[in-house]
Amino acid sequence: MPRALITGITGQDGLYLAEFLLGQGYDVHGLLRGQNNPKRDLVEELLPEVTLHNGDLTDMSSLIRALRECDPAEVYNLGAVSFVAYSWENAALTTDVTGKGVLNMLEAVRLHAGDDPSSVRFYQASSSEMFGKVQEVPQRETTLLWPRSPYGVAKVFGHYMTINYRESYGMHASSGILFNHESPRRGQEFVTRKISQAVARIHLGLQDHVTLGNLDAERDWGFAGDYVEAMWLMLQQDVADDYVVATGETHSVREFVQAAFAHVGIDGWERHVRYDERFMRPAEVDQLVGDASKAHRQLGWKPKVGFAELVAMMVDTDIDAFRTGW
């Protein structure tokens, strides 16, 4: 039975990836941080087969201990401070976790793997935020990186460190440059979930409006459940590499809002949307759209869930949750 260690197991992607790997017959282990992490219960309830290990990406000795405890064949490094807006307020913390945390994990894996550094396969959760002020449309693996936030800068560090460990030590280290991916498990601070929850509550008469920032920003939004499969496929290749994972379609925040209100049959969505400068960012990423043809060609990966289906899935799940008082 192959064994995998996932950092960031309590996050959106960690949960989907753990479910996917269990379905593939893996023995799944997860890294859990903090002395009394409130999300431990969620993981234990949803995925009782997963074994949890204490550790933090900023503490390399804890990573070495976790690797010793589970001795995995594959490591998926999903742990990060991942909220872009928060990264301006906590730039140093974001750098430590999202940036230097990658180096800590790579070095821990290298030390653990001993004489054969390629014996433990490594996945790094890189991000389309690295493209920032985009230098090419659509963005592909070779597009020049121009990050626009402390989060983006930290991800660029982790991305190049992953490539450097592959080139320096022959590690099987791959980097997935994933564009935005969402789901009913998306954190409430991200715009899609903020909208799906608000629309669900407005539909049920529990709320009147939602307050947002920049409606003009455009993102290439896919479904997280589809994207974790691409992570796994990268680690099944003979040779490690970097891949863009995206749908190739871009939509504005405004279009997401429109689609969500239209799904519940509310016309005149403008009545329910207010603007607050608080949600604007010091530097914005205006438009992202990815070219995932390398992943299509080499991994045989394609997204299954489209934009309209994703919006409907998120809104419907939130309506059910608010109806049942969950």
Residues known to be catalytic: 127, 129, 151
Give dist(CA 202, CA 206) in Å, integer.
Answer: 6
Written as six digits, the tokens of 114 are 């001993």
SS3 3: strand
Contact between 191 and ligand F7E per CB under 6 A:
yes
Measured from the Cβ of residue 310, the count of other Cβ atoms closer than 10 Å reads 27
- Of 124, 128, 139, 250, the one binding ligand F7E (CB under 6 A) is 128
| Residue 48 φ then ψ, to 5° | -65, -20
- Of 4, 18, 66, 81, the one binding ligand NAP (CB under 6 A) is 81
| Residue 85 φ then ψ, to 5° | -60, -40
Distances (CA, A) of 43 to 7, 82, 187: 13, 19, 15
Give the one entry of ligand F7E, ligand NAP, none that residue 196 binds, where binding means its C-beta sits below a cut-off of 5 to 8 angstroms depending on kind.
Answer: none
Contact between 95 and ligand NAP per CB under 6 A:
no
- Of 187, 271, 275, 279, the one binding ligand NAP (CB under 6 A) is 187
Q: 213 near 278, Cβ under 8 Å?
A: yes
Give me the 105-144 binding string for ligand NAP, x by CB under 6 A, dash otherwise. --------------------x-x-----------------
Contact between 56 and ligand NAP per CB under 6 A:
yes
SS3 211: strand
What is the chain's alpha carbon radius of gyration, rounded to the nearest angstrom? 19
Closest residue to bound ligand F7E by CB? 217
CB-wise, 167 or 216, nearer to ligand F7E? Answer: 216
Q: What is the DSSP string of 165-191?
A: HHHHH---EEEEEEPPEE-TTS-TTSH
For residue 85, how far is the Cα from the chain centroid? Answer: 15
Written as six digits, the tokens of 125 are 């959760």
Residues in the chain: 326
Written as six digits, the tokens of 13 are 């992607």
Direct distance between the N- and C-terminal alpha carbons of the chain, in angstroms, rounded to an integer:
36
Give me the 230-269 binding string for ligand F7E, x by CB under 6 A, dash otherwise. -----------------------x----------------
Contact between 94 and ligand F7E per CB under 6 A:
no
Give me the 23-52 binding string for ligand NAP, x by CB under 6 A, dash otherwise. --------x-xx--x-x-------------
Contact between 181 and ligand NAP per CB under 6 A:
yes
- Of 4, 13, 102, 192, the one binding ligand NAP (CB under 6 A) is 13
CB-wise, 84 or 257, nearer to ligand NAP? Answer: 84
Positions in the binding site for ligand F7E (CB under 6 A)? 82, 84-85, 127-129, 179-180, 189-192, 194, 212-214, 217, 219, 253, 279, 281, 284
Positions in the binding site for ligand NAP (CB under 6 A)? 7-14, 31, 33-34, 37, 39, 56-58, 78-82, 97, 125, 127, 178, 180-181, 187
